[in-house]
Amino acid sequence: MERNVVLYAEDDYDDFDLLKEIFFERYPDILLIHATRGTHLLHSLEDEQIRQRTSLVILDNNMPELDDKQTLVAIRTNPAYNHIPVVIFSTTLRPQEIVFFESMGAHCFRKAVKIEELEALVEKFRSLRLQSQD
C-alpha cells in the first residue's frame, strides 16, 4: 500500500527534521516530503502520483523564490490540487497575514518551541488531513 503524502515547504532543514521525526515515529503511514522552496513544492504537485497521494500541504511563512502567499495562491488557483488542505506554519504571523491566509482557506499555526507542543501540532495537522479525506 502506498503511503499518504504530506508536502512540507520549509527552507530550514532543522525545522523540517523535527517535524519529520515526529511524523515518522507517530504516523508511519504518512510520507513527509520536503521541498526547500515553494517552486519545488509546486513542481512536486505537478507529478500526478504525488498529487493523488497528497492529503496536506504545509508551508513555511518566509521562503526564498516563491513565498508562502504566492505558493498558496498558485495552489488555490490550480483546479488539479486546489482541494488539498494547506497549513501555514511559521514562527511569525502578523494579523493581516492570518486574515489573508484564512481567506484563501489555509489554516495558520505558530511553530512550537517545546517538543510536546510540536507533537500536539502534528496531531492537529493529521486531523486536518483526515478531514479532507471524508
Which amino acid is present at 131? Q
Who has greater pLDDT, 58 or 2?
Answer: 58
- Domain of residue 105: give its range: 4-132
Tell me the per-residue pLDDT of 50-68, one tens digit each, with 9 for 90 and over.
999 999 999 998 888 888 9
| Distance (Å, whole) CA 121 – CA 127 | 10
The x, y and z cell numbers of residue 60, run together, are 513555511
What is each CA distance from 2 to 9, 39, 75, 102, 114, in whole angstroms?
A: 21, 25, 23, 31, 32
* CATH number of the domain bearing residue 47: 3.40.50.2300
Pairing between β-strand 30-35 and β-strand 4-9 as defined by DSSP bridges: parallel
Q: Is the pTM of this model over 0.85?
A: yes
The count of structural domains within the chain is: 1
Who has greater pLDDT, 107 or 2?
Answer: 107
Residue 128 pLDDT > 90:
no
